[in-house]
Chains A and B, each alone.
Chain A
Amino acid sequence: MKQEFKVLGTRPIRPDGLDKVTGKAMFGADKSVTGMLHARILRSPHAHAEIVSIDTSKAEALAGVKAVITGDDFADVENRWSRYTMQNCMAQGRALYDGHAVAAVAAVSKTIAAEALKLIEVEYKVLSHVMDVDEAMAPGAPVLHEGVKARKLGDDVSGNTVGYYSFGHGDPEKGFAAADEVIERTFKTAAVHQGYIEPHACLADLGSDGKGELWCSTQGHYMVREVCAEILHIDASQLRVTASEIGGGFGGKTTVFIEPVALKLSQKAGKPVKLVMSREDVFRASGPTMSASMDVKIGMSKDGKITGAHAKLRYQGGAFPYQMVMMGAMSAFAAYDLEHVQAEGWDVMTNRPKMISYRAPGAPMAVYAVESVMDELCQKLELDPIDTRLLNAAKEGTKSSYGPTFKAIGLVEALEAAKAHPHYSAPLAPNTGRGVSCGFWFNFGGQVSVSMAINADGTVNLIEGNPDIGGSRASISMMAAEALGIEFDRVRTIVGDTASVGFSDVTDGSRVTFAVGIATINAAKAAIKEMCQRAAKIWEIDAEAVEWVDGAAQPTGHNAGNFPPMSLAEIAATSGKTGGPIAGHHEGAPDKAGVSFGVHLVDVEVDPETGFTAIKRYTAFQDVGKAIHPAYVEGQIQGGAVQGIGWALNEEYIYGEDGRLQNAGFLDYRIPVASDLPMIEPVIIEVPNPGHPFGVRGCGETAIVPPLAAVANGVAQAIGVRMFALPMSPPKILKAL
């Protein structure tokens, strides 16, 4: 049954908007304090080198330099994942990629800090490096770290292979034997960066008494606190972390790159230290996503039924062990109801910056490979791409390719909406092709804390612990207003620091509207219970005889008492006399996040003389469960589509033979600019998630998954040649023509 809402689904003005457009909002680099120092980081020019020695004496002697640190300043950390994070922030013994930090300086000015970097003498012994995933996985490749090879793997793969996963059921070989057509293809995708507009920045102040303050741009300040406390060997309670406004993260700010360095410099210098990455630093030393090499084989009957499917995914994730190919292997075939399916994945290390999540991490490339083969099968068997997907679509009750059985999901609804949309039947211009692709993301729940205060004037304050990267303050205020039965503008939500509210997981996995939403609803329930008790006290009746309806307490019936409803504002006004402040809070770990499917349609025009690809029309359909604030949801869908288009067409990390990054800037790392794009038309589908009181699924990630294949399938149709590697930049397309 469809729920009726008063606040949800409306489009109030965003609460952070005025501050952002007037420049009042404080981002990572905007905070300064009296007496602070400026830090700079010295980075390795080599892709792989032993650090024979570092002489910092000349830098330390420079007037104005207050502290210099190297990897030797950091004591060992017991947890190996935290140790990798620390060694990524500051190399110990070996530089593992071009841009790897080897020393840092804090000085009274940026100019002196930069001058001091030139005085640090590092002796390197250059070692052989490996950049490509297939080369890194081959026996005999230079191995980044010994002793971390995934167990159960044989001698056919190198020690860089740190993870192996396999998902599926049935027997794909049986499925292929039953097929009328089997296609197997190999694909490659480049490493791409999240491309957030705001470089990493922080201001750290760590005293000799172990008490610390840290201001930084992050997707999770509790994560920052825990990792930094571990690396600095201080108590979590003593380090207060405040998240600044954030200029984009897309997963790239779910770890630390500079915060432990700034804290260590501050500790050594005894002064606050500000550290801001340059754009070049961001490209060279903050995490891009993985590049991939993939084999996909699908068998299909003449009428379009998939009989068997198999994927082999090899991802490289840079210079340290990591675990992410698993997400690709789980996502690859999630859209389809299959009898015989297997997806395998290998995580591999190379001499590149350590990967970090990027919007639906691991899924876009795997789905690109699968949806490309699907498209080729449809072409070969002369089948309609949407009908074929509908024939195979996963639905409620389908045993998913990665194990669980799906509850209510909206893939069929999204495919049907795409088929019925005028875009799908519009005529195509010359040199133009139309691409279709499905996409999928899990979404996530995780740990969450919310604290809600009912103020005496009838307004509500809400503190939550997740940085707002996509409009969560608005959607959380809306859910609080809906649950309490009051107007949206009565509620103000803020993101508290780590000392003001309980632990909250990182803002990732499209989890915040889902998880913080549930905590908000539960906090509101606690406050409502208290308000009902106050009303009962005033009316001198039993608390059980009071219910909450439309933002007011009222007797449950005439037998309970004959009193007019008492509003939240009325109860709040007398709260000082009825028992003191009224509040509600909730801490939990909701785990019923609903998966989200999307379907994208794109028309691309390819210039046959130059290989230039223009996106002419783009429509994105996505099941979001319930769109709390539809404008933000549409923005998420559009943003994901644009990032996927960039991945498909021009974005890539370009390395020279020497292993040095050649395009560490937005001039030569080409994300799409506004004039490259048509208006992306988002179409919101709402199939409620049974695991959330309002039906919320989460919407931020799914939209980056379909564009890679949608654009590739459009290009294949436009030029009559299929490209098997991303990006499909003009030189590659022209060469293929």
Chain B
Amino acid sequence: MRYVVAKDSREAVALLNTGEGARLLSGGTDVLVQMKLSGVAPDMLIDIKRIDGFNTISAEDSGFRIGATVSGAKMGAHPALKTLWPGVVEAVELIGSTQVQGRATMAGNLCNGSPAADSVPAMIAAEAVARIEGPDGTRDVPIAALLKGPGKTHLAKAELISSIFLPARAARAGDAYLRFIPRTEMDIAVASAGVSLEVDENSVVTKAVVALGAVAPTVVSVPEAAAALIGTKLDAAALEACAKACTAACNPIDDKRGTAEFRTKVAGVMATRAAKIAYARAGGQQ
């Protein structure tokens, strides 16, 4: 096996393009575990941590651009980012243990393609955009458009994500992420929800995005659940309609982590609870 430190994204893309057996190494919290436990044996590991700009959080158009190799711990230690998108940061910080937080990245969490990935519902709710470098140049793609299925994304051959852009937002806005796990930490979401809201001066919701994790082959955005919140002050009827829409959008599996029935019920609970937190963060008052 070859281990290569890429100098820039062009070199990383070129190396990715040389063969099928190459894998990118950022934090390594997925690929190294796969190599150790699942017998995955790449011909080449391309380390992208040294690429200029990949490990930085930079302000851009009143939003933030998060480099592909920025760790969860680094995001958690960025006060301005936490103020702007607290839900996204709390989602990233739920991944793994304290030690894993020092390595794990949001871009890696996305590329791993898990429907239970903690950061992805929060990123979709935040309408985040991935910047992709590939043999044909650079393109920007909304996160939701990249999801394909368990373990799969719509990244083309030899493409990589160089950064994720979290956009600017209105003054009265808030987001939140919640997941259900049978314990209190060190676990994988059985059902999860990311919600982002904007309210007007009368605390009425003017805009909403609701995304659910671990209840379908990919993380799913649920426009009907968002629509149920818009124009309301999160009264009981709105929350019930939101939960119903979430339930209708669920297409989960029965597995060792939870039954389909359980996931379907709990997804709505997570969404309404996250909506309430996002609403409070937006300054909404019922």
On A, residues with C-beta under 8 Å from B are: 280, 609-612, 649-650, 654, 662-663, 665, 667-668, 670, 672-673, 675-676, 729-731, 734-735
Could you list some 17 contacts between A and B, CB below 8 A? A610-B269, A612-B180, A663-B256, A668-B256, A670-B187, A673-B183, A673-B186, A675-B183, A675-B185, A676-B183, A730-B182, A730-B190, A730-B262, A731-B258, A731-B261, A735-B259, A735-B261
| B249-274 at interface with A (beta carbon < 8 Å) | 255-259, 261-262, 265-266, 269
Asked whether, in the complex, the Cβ of A650 is within 8 Å of the Cβ of B261, the reply is no
Q: Give the complex CA separation of A280 and B256 in angstroms.
A: 16
Q: Are B183 and A650 in contact (CB under 8 A)?
A: yes
What's the least CB distance linking A45 to chain B, in Å? 14
Across the interface, do B183 and A735 meet the contact criterion of CB distance under 8 Å?
A: no
- The answer to the question of B188 belonging to the interface, with a C-beta cut-off of 8 Å to chain A, is yes
Would A610 and B180 count as touching, CB distance under 8 A?
Answer: yes
Question: What residue in chain A is nearest B260 (Cβ atoms)?
Answer: A731
Chain B residues near A729 (CB, 8 Å)? 182
Q: Which of B37, B188, B257 contacts A280 (CB 8 A)?
A: B37
Identify the closest chain A residue to B243 (Cβ). Answer: A609
User: What per-residue 1/0 map shows which CB atoms of B53-64 lie under 8 Å from chain A?
Assistant: 000000000000
Write out the residue numbers on chain B whose beta carbons fall within 8 Å of the beta carbon of A612: 180, 182
Cα A440 to Cα B58 in complex, Å, equals: 62
What residues of chain B lie closer than 8 Å to A649, measured between beta carbons? 182
The listed residue (B184, B186, B256, B266) touching A734 by CB distance below 8 A is B266
Q: Which of B182, B262, B265 contacts A670 (CB 8 A)?
A: B182
**A609 and B258 form a contact (CB under 8 A):** no
Decide if B265 touches A734 in the complex (CB within 8 Å): yes
Contact, CB under 8 Å: A610 / B266: yes
Across the interface, do A731 and B185 meet the contact criterion of CB distance under 8 Å? no
Chain A neighbourhood of B265, CB < 8 A: 734
Q: What residue in chain B is nearest A729 (Cβ atoms)?
A: B182
Contact B180 A668 (CB under 8 A): no
Tell me which residues across on chain B come within 8 A of A730, comparing CB atoms.
180, 182, 190, 258, 262, 266
Sample of 8 more A-B contacts, CB < 8 Å, known A280-B37, A610-B269, A730-B190: A654-B256, A667-B186, A672-B183, A676-B184, A729-B182, A730-B182, A730-B262, A734-B265
Please name the residue on chain B nearest to A279 by beta carbon: B37
Which of B180, B185, B259, B262 counts the most A-chain CB atoms under 10 A from its CB? Answer: B262
User: Shortest beta-carbon distance, A277 to chain B, in Å?
Assistant: 14
Residues on B with C-beta less than 8 A from A670 are: 182-183, 187
Nearest B residue to A652 via CB reads B256
Complex formed: what's the CA distance from A46 to B258 in Å? 24
Task: Output the least CB separation between A129 and chain B (Å).
Answer: 19
CB distance from B38 to the nearest CB of A (A): 10
Report A-chain residues with C-beta under 8 Å of the C-beta of B180.
610, 612, 730
What's the minimum C-beta distance from B233 to chain A, rounded to whole angstroms?
21
Separation in Å of the B54 CB from the closest CB of chain A? 29
> Given the complex of chains A and B, what is the CA–CA distance between A670 and B266 in angstroms?
19
In the complex, the number of residue pairs spanning A and B with C-beta atoms less than 8 Å apart equals 52
Q: Is the interface of B mostly helix, strand, loop or mixed?
A: loop
Residue of chain A at shortest CB distance from B191: A610
Contacts of A654 in B (CB 8 A): 256
Chain B residue at minimal CB-CB distance from A665: B37
Given contacts A280-B37, A663-B256, A668-B256, contact A735 B184 (CB under 8 A): no
Alpha-carbon separation in the docked complex, A730 to B256 (Å): 12
Residues of chain A within 8 A (CB-CB) of B37 are 280, 665
Cβ contacts under 8 Å, A650 to chain B: 182-183
Q: CB within 8 Å of A: which of B224-261?
A: 255-259, 261
What 10 A-B pairs come out closest when comparing CB atoms?
A: A731-B262, A675-B184, A609-B269, A654-B256, A662-B256, A731-B259, A676-B184, A650-B182, A675-B185, A663-B256
B48 to A: closest C-beta gap in Å: 26
- Chain B hits for A611, CB < 8 A: 262
Q: Which residues of B contact A673 (CB under 8 A)?
A: 183-186
What's the minimum C-beta distance from B69 to chain A, rounded to whole angstroms?
24
Q: Which residues on B sit within 8 Å (CB–CB) of A609?
A: 266, 269
Q: How far is the CA of A413 from the CA of B186 in the complex (A)?
A: 39
Whole-angstrom distance between the Cβ of A671 and the nearest chain B Cβ: 9
Which residues from B are CB-within-8-Å of A610? 180, 266, 269
Central interface residue in A609, A672, A676, by most chain B CB within 10 Å: A609
Question: In the complex the two chains form, what is the Cα distance from A611 to B182 in whole Å?
Answer: 9
| Chain A: CB-nearest residue to B186 | A673
B256 CB contacts on chain A under 8 angstroms: 654, 662-663, 668
Alpha-carbon distance A633/B259, docked complex (angstroms): 40
Bound Cα distance from A676 to B181, whole angstroms = 11
In the complex, which residues of chain B have a beta carbon less than 8 angstroms from the beta carbon of A662? 255-256
- Quote the shortest CB–CB distance from B235 to chain A (angstroms): 18
Contact B257 A668 (CB under 8 A): yes
Please, how many angstroms separate the alpha-carbon atoms of A203 and B18 in the complex? Answer: 43
Q: How far is the CA of A460 from the CA of B214 in the complex (A)?
A: 61
B7 → chain A closest CB, angstroms: 30
Given contacts A280-B37, A610-B269, whether A734 and B262 have CB atoms under 8 Å apart is: yes
Which residues does chain B contribute within 8 Å of A667, judged by CB atoms? 186-188
Nearest chain-A residue to B263 (Cβ)?
Answer: A731
A639 to B185, CA, bound (A): 20
Q: How far is the CA of A612 from the CA of B190 in the complex (A)?
A: 12
Q: Write the chain B residue with the least CB distance to A671.
A: B183
Residues of B contacting A665 in the complex (Cβ-Cβ under 8 angstroms): 37
CA distance A310 to B182 in the complex (A): 35
A676 vs B185: C-alpha distance when bound (angstroms):
8
How many Å lie between the Cα of A673 and that of B186 in the bound state?
8
- Measured in the bound complex, the distance between the Cα atoms of B37 and A162 in whole Å is 37
Rounded to whole angstroms, the CA-CA distance of A610 and B262 in the bound complex is 8
* Distance (whole angstroms) from the CB of A109 to the closest CB of chain B: 15
Separation of A716 and B263 alpha carbons in the complex (Å): 23
A729 to chain B, nearest CB (A): 6
In chain B, what residue has the closest Cβ to A662? B256
Residue of B182, B186, B255, B265 with highest tally of chain A CB at under 10 A: B182
CB distance from A667 to the nearest CB of B (A): 7
- Asked if A735 meets B262 with Cβ closer than 8 Å, knowing A670-B183, A672-B183, the reply is yes
- A607 to B, closest residue via Cβ: B269
Q: Distance (Å) between the CB of A649 and the closest chain B CB?
A: 8
Q: Mark B184-223, 1 if CB is under 8 A from A, else 0.
A: 1111101000000000000000000000000000000000
Q: B residues within 8 A CB of A663?
A: 256
Task: Provide the bound-state CA to CA distance between A609 and B262, in Å.
Answer: 10
User: Distance (Å) between the CB of A238 and the closest chain B CB?
Assistant: 38
A731 neighbours in B (Cβ, 8 Å): 258-259, 261-262
| Assembled-state Cα–Cα distance A668/B257 (Å) | 7
- Shortest CB-to-CB span from B90 to chain A, Å, is 16
Tell me the complex Cα distance, A734–B256, Å. 16
A610 CA to B257 CA in the complex, in Å? 14
Q: How far is the CB of B118 from chain A (nearest CB, A)?
A: 14
Please indicate which of the listed interface residues A663, A672, A734 has the most CB atoms of chain B within 10 Å of its own CB. Answer: A734
**Whole-angstrom distance between the Cβ of A197 and the nearest chain B Cβ:** 14
B259: chain A residues at CB < 8 Å are: 731, 735
Distance in angstroms between the alpha carbons of A731 and B254 in the assembled complex: 11
Report how far A472 CA is from B8 CA in the complex, Å: 58
Taken together as a complex, chains A and B put the C-alpha atoms of A734 and B188 apart, in Å, by 19
Nearest CB of chain B from residue A664's CB, rounded to whole Å:
10
Residue with the highest number of chain B CB atoms closer than 10 Å, among A610, A654, A667, A734: A610
Q: How far is the CA of A64 from the CA of B99 in the complex (A)?
A: 36
User: Which B residues touch A735, using CB under 8 A?
Assistant: 259, 261-262
Task: Give A663's nearest chain B residue, CB to CB.
Answer: B256
Cβ contacts under 8 Å, B258 to chain A: 730-731
A315 to B259, CA, bound (A): 26
Q: Tell me the bound Cα distance from A241 to B252 in angstroms.
A: 52
Within the complex, the shortest CB–CB distance from B268 to chain A, in Å, comes to 9
**Minimum CB distance partner of B39 in chain A:** A114
Most A CB within 10 A of own CB, among B188, B190, B256, B261:
B256
